[in-house]
Amino acid sequence: MGKEWTVHNPGGSRRVIVTKQLPGNRWLDILVAADCTVEVCESDDVLSVDEITERIGDHCDGAIGQLTEDWNAELFAALKAAGGSAYSNYAVGYNNVDVAGATASGIPVGNTPGVLTETTAEMAAALTLSAGRRVVEADRFMRAGNYHGWLPTMYMGQRFHGKTVGIIGCGRIGAAYGRMMVEGFKMNLVYFDLYANENLEAFVKDYSELLVAHGEAPVTATRLDTIEDVMRTADVVSIHTVLDESTHHLVNAERLALMKDDAILINSSRGPVVDEVALVEHCKTHPEFKAGLDVFEDEPAMKPGLNELDNVTIVPHIASATTWTRQGMATLAAANVAGILQGHPLWTGDDVLPFLDGDFPPYAPSIVNAADLGIN
């Protein structure tokens, strides 16, 4: 049976399809102000390439799609053939998008950076604490009516204070998470990234001086040469890379084996960055080891055995799920599409906050293939 679609502003001179309901109203106001008729799919099911192609039809100016959909070259060719000239992913990550295919069809691809940073880092921190202090295990124990009195050895977990946090992929989100763990728990930080994060290193150095001035122990931030060094050194390792060919199964059985027996692994980036079968095996054979996962290799499925492990905390890809962030993502996705359709230039500001309140800036906030398409 066909999916239900809601049509907003039916008299608009442009047609934009949106493959899922998005939170808030600002995104819709932006598209309506750009004279778009906006068609929103009401179904929670993931739309297939065929279903999206059918909805694009023979006249469609732009689209906002989801990270769960396969925006392949065929789909961009269909959008182009329908007269389309703008696409935005409702996500900062765009591993579901064939950007080269979009570029070949001349379609700009937008994404939504700058509104997920702290929100996603906060979830990575929540998973870290939850895994290390066994919060979910203990919650299940309480609900099962198993608490019959305080005991000295009940649900002992990890102390974070003064230990070492490791970050793989130290861009915006990785650095925000790192700062939370350094500032909150006075952890030392090690990281692996192709580039040095000089701002983060400078911040930790200044923060360390402040701590010392207050009679506390110093903290450090050190870039290590290899992923292996981070895996060996850190008590907590959090993954914040993009997913591409170079990061697929970046955390595999060999690298897990390098980690301390009671270490914690956190993944809030993309599922396939971790070899989930290897992780299940590692967690089975290392009961003191803990993992906190927001993302899964074959989402929404989990690899066999994962959901039976007490030493794993699992949540359904909700790291960016705060109202502010999800509404902000919708606003940026709409501003990308509306900006391109109206011929606006690319935003070059330091942050995207001006898009979130007040008048809409006449810019497209973030287009990942802008350089290739000569958009500036």
Site for ligand DGY in 284-343 (CB under 6 A): 319-320
Give the distance from CA 16 to its chain's centroid.
25
Q: In the complex, which residue's CB is closest to ligand DGY?
A: 93
Which of 30, 47, 75, 91 is close enough to bind ligand DGY by CB under 6 A?
Answer: 91
The size of the interface with ligand DGY (CB under 6 A), counted in residues, is 7
363 secondary structure, DSSP code: S
**Minimum distance between the CB of residue 138 and ligand DGY, rounded to whole angstroms?**
27
Binding flags for ligand DGY, 37-76, as an x/- string (CB under 6 A): ------------------------------x---------
Scanning 86-94, 100-108, 222-230, 346-354 for contacts with ligand DGY by CB under 6 A, the matching segment is: 86-94
Q: In whole angstroms, what is the distance from residue 112 CA to residue 366 CA?
A: 7
Nearby residues of 81 by Cβ (< 8 Å), 6 or more positions away: 58
Catalytic residue among 14, 255, 317, 344: 317
255: annotated active-site residue = no
**Minimum distance between the CB of residue 319 and ligand DGY, rounded to whole angstroms?**
6
Which of 63, 92, 227, 264 is close enough to bind ligand DGY by CB under 6 A?
Answer: 92
Nearer to ligand DGY, 16 or 116 (CB): 116
Catalytic residue among 26, 223, 270, 344: 270
Cα atoms found within 13 Å of the Cα of residue 192, Cβ hemisphere only? 18
Nearer to ligand DGY, 204 or 273 (CB): 273
299: annotated active-site residue = yes
Determine the 3-state secondary structure of 82 from DSSP.
coil
Neighbouring C-beta atoms of residue 251, cutoff 10 Å: 25
Nearby residues of 71 by Cβ (< 8 Å), 6 or more positions away: 65, 87, 89, 96, 97, 98, 102
Tokens of 294: 């927001």
Q: In whole angstroms, what is the distance from residue 214 CA to residue 227 CA?
A: 34
Nearer to ligand DGY, 185 or 296 (CB): 296
Interhelix angle for 172-185 vs 117-132, to 10°? Answer: 50
270: annotated active-site residue = yes
Nearer to ligand DGY, 92 or 256 (CB): 92
Q: What are the Cα distances from residue 36, in Å, to 17, 63, 275?
A: 10, 11, 43
Q: Is 116 in the site for ligand DGY (CB under 6 A)?
A: yes
Catalytic residues: 270, 299, 317
Residue ranges binding ligand DGY (CB under 6 A): 67, 91-93, 116, 319-320
